[in-house]
Structure 1
């Protein structure tokens, strides 16, 4: 059931607090070491082979999420639950404030999921709300693009990111067809890309993701991906006037763990509609291997320069 009480994951809520430690003191030796590390990482070669699997039939029990956009009421309870589960800072606009819908938002370092509002093209007067987060691709292009293998597609379904090996090239942000990864610009010395983890720790502990457990109208369902596809097809078959005949995420770019149902064409809700049915990891590797080296190095180098200069000013 999508309303099952989630299991608390003690580890997930601490990462943000540990990372917000301000600019660290950097001396000349540390600065040069940082440059060397960044340069060495960039010379590891072309982007690594995907950590995703080309044949996922060996993971029949992988989990997924189904968001029914015809049920979502825009309450932002999922945003609040995600914020609490991951220990994120309080938002600039309170969760019960509707003015946030005046602009379209993307996930950020302080908000792993956001809800956007769209007008109803059917003239019903009722707005449509879309929840946005990492879709956890079956064959993630972020994993294919990353030269240090910071991304992994887990057997449970979520795509996870390892901040300890990331050096801030941001290839993943370029590669993602859904623009999901966000960069934490407050930690330039310690590069960190942030995104939804689908509450992997909760899943491993036998619970469900925070957003699914908190939704008051049951718009988000957690379960095995195969079962969710059956649920979605059954809803479309039973209520053809309510839904468009498409399950978004079933085949797009090889498929995603996060699936969607909608009452209007997905393109009207800013979903990418030009994605191929097959995984795009090979295209990602081909494109990113041609990116000039300087574009790989500049985020790390500029961050180190800024930190060194800031430290000098503070001592002066």
Structure 2
């Protein structure tokens, strides 16, 4: 059966769209800005991880533990199929230990990379179909049934965390989800924190871990970079917190302001829609008149067919 549209059918579709485009595109900007405050406050029961780079020995025990908990195969491409050797976060790696080393000095530090679970995640704000969401306790989770593979989350994330399964015929987004389904729902801590032999990364409530991090800074003056906790305020705050003896930027953590990315996004879109409100309103008015004129045209056509006995082939 043919599915080709006649000119009349195609025009009807365009007229129908024209009449509704104005109301469909105008957002509720006030509500959006309330949903994305500049400086979000973490709930009292928000979970978190605290990673102390000065305690990490680079053993990488957290990596196979993460793979096992999430059913991920080892990335053995560079090792010729022998051992897990990813070069960064990818479709097979949700958690990785990397090494920073200054070739001109003896300065070095390990760093753990995974999803930061922001208080107001840019990936959630950027996802058009809600496949990414902030779940119980603050874990940012991903729903495969809602994902269309647009990869907006990759573009939005300032930490470059979400990864795309390029090799799969049905690609998915891969990122740390705090072992939400695998362990948190069973009252178990994430696999990486459970496996760490030195306590370099620990799990608990965000408020408690912040207090612990600040206590470490207070008891060891000069040990930690800038004597502050990365993630307390960056991008509105994150639920993965860092302590380091070297610059956070040197170990790959971006320099960010204290305003949440989601708040920036709603500010930008509110201005865009404000500027577009005039043209959208005009298009709505035009759509109304086009629809009215088309209905009148249809009545005249039917009357003409009735009088002549021949159908109009417009």
- TM-score, normalised to structure 1, is 0.68
The residue aligned with 2:56 is 72
Give the whole-Å Cα distance in 2 for the aligned partners of 1:121 and 1:246: 26
1:209 paired to 2:193: no
Equivalent in 52, 57, 62 of residue 46 of structure 2: 62
Helix, strand or coil: the match of 1:267? coil
Any conservation in 2 of the 1:63–1:223 contact (CA below 8 Å)? yes
The residue aligned with 2:174 is 194
What do the CA deviations read for 1:117-160 (whole angstroms, capped 9, x no partner)?
1115894x463111111100000011111110111112312101
The residue aligned with 2:144 is 163
1:184 paired to 2:168: no
How many residues are paired up? 241
The residue aligned with 2:68 is 84
Q: What's the RMSD between the two structures over aligned residues?
A: 3.1
Helix, strand or coil: the match of 1:116? strand
The residue aligned with 2:204 is 223
Distance 1:46 1:107, change over 3 A: farther
Any conservation in 2 of the 1:236–1:242 contact (CA below 8 Å)? yes
The residue aligned with 1:128 is 109
Helix, strand or coil: the match of 1:221? strand
Report matched runs for 1:1-316 at 5 Å. 54=37, 59-92=43-76, 100=85, 105-119=87-101, 123=105, 125=106, 127-188=108-169, 190-201=170-181, 202-244=183-225, 245-273=227-255, 275-284=256-265
What do the CA deviations read for 1:32-62 (whole angstroms, capped 9, x no partner)?
xxxxxxxxxxx99699969976486582111
Give the whole-Å Cα distance in 2 for the aligned partners of 1:177 and 1:60: 25
Give the whole-Å Cα distance in 2 for the aligned partners of 1:218 and 1:129: 14
Q: 1:284 Cα shift?
A: 3.2
Distance 1:265 1:288, change over 3 A: same
Q: 1:187 Cα shift?
A: 3.0
Q: 1:246 Cα shift?
A: 1.6
Give the whole-Å Cα distance in 2 for the aligned partners of 1:173 and 1:111: 15
The residue aligned with 2:294 is none
Distance 1:99 1:150, change over 3 A: closer
Any conservation in 1 of the 2:74–2:84 contact (CA below 8 Å)? no
Distance 1:279 1:266, change over 3 A: same
Runs of 4 or more above 2 Å deviation? 43-59, 97-101, 120-123, 282-290
More helix by share: 2
The residue aligned with 1:294 is none
